[in-house]
A = this chain, B = another copy of it.
Amino acid sequence: MKKYCFGIDVGGTTVKCGLFSEEGVLLDKWEIDTRTEDNGSHILPDVAETILKKLGEKNIPKEDVLGIGIGIPGPVNENGCLPYAVNLHWGFMDVEGQLKEMTGIPVKAGNDANVAALGEAWKGGGAGARSMIMVTLGTGVGGGIIIDGKIVPGFHGAGGEIGHVHVDDSITDPCNCGNCGCLEQVTSATGIARLAREELAACDEDSLLRGQERITAKTVFNAVKEGDALSIRVAERFGVYLGKALAGFACVVDPQVIVIGGGVSKAGPILLDFIEKNYRKYTFSACRQTDFALALLGNDAGIYGAAKMVC
């Protein structure tokens, strides 16, 4: 009997939905709006409705569905509950219990960044690896740790929150988390722009970045590709921060592969060069050959990983 599973990725504006075979083939993909009004009370019923509708449309009996995996932008604990999800306007929510009651199908919930990591470990940049560190470089820095093929959610739901590792005592303005000197402040898209502004302010040197209306991670790495010396210094500083941090994490969990994703990773393989060089310099000898890869699944990582949680 052919078996199916659903992968659901709840974002602040849309819910991405995927129907998968148990082998991980994406059979159908669609989106619904995330209705955050009324304290987000419509979100889970909307998810249940679209899943049940899809089953009817495809003539799939519920018994052939292994489960629903769902990624949530919030700190999901080991029991599939979360104390709050700011972007969804949720307070405490028993996601697994409620969605199971609405659908009659087993549910597994996870934090969205962790779930995306699992997707990359299953069918993306880390495909085939049993252990992985995923770093997502976007507006912020997220991550996910995969050990023995499973997400490490963490006791407080903070597993893989690597953006908030303290890396620099000299930073005195606060991160979004309230601390100062977080990895996110220097290696996210906004962090890279910050490093670029610092380098520009510190000298009069000519640079492709000088005079640009808006400096972003993209403009920095484009200039790196053009050989712009100042931008290369920015990329080097970025690489030292991230490579050194990852070198330390490797001494903790020693993964098979480290995968870099998020918007910043669109810079391509050159990004890995700056990270890997510094990783290999600072890490423990046994971990020096750890593989690096770029994420492959883009915005679909979340639905893949969600599906993987239940199949």
Contact = CB atoms under 8 A, between A and B. Distances in A.
A282 B157 contact: no
Contact of A252 (B177, B253, B283): B253
Nearest to A245: B248
A150 B244 CA distance: 27
A158 interface: yes
Interface in A149-199: 150, 152-166, 177-179
Copies of this protein in the assembly total 2
Interface stretch (A15-23, A224-232, A266-274, A285-293): A285-293
A162 B252 contact: yes
Q: How large is the interface on A (under 10, 10 to 19, 20 to 34, 35 or more residues)?
A: 35 or more
Given A166-B247, A244-B166, A179 B284 contact: yes
A290 B286 CA distance: 29
Contacts of A78: 130
A26 B130 CA distance: 34
A255 interface: yes
A254 B159 contact: yes
A275 interface: no
Given A166-B248, A248-B245, A152 B147 contact: yes
The 3 closest A-B CB pairs, nearest first, are A154-B254, A158-B286, A164-B284
Contacts of A157: 254, 286
Interface string A127-139: 0001101000000
A162 B248 CA distance: 8
Contacts of A284: 158, 161, 164-165, 177, 179
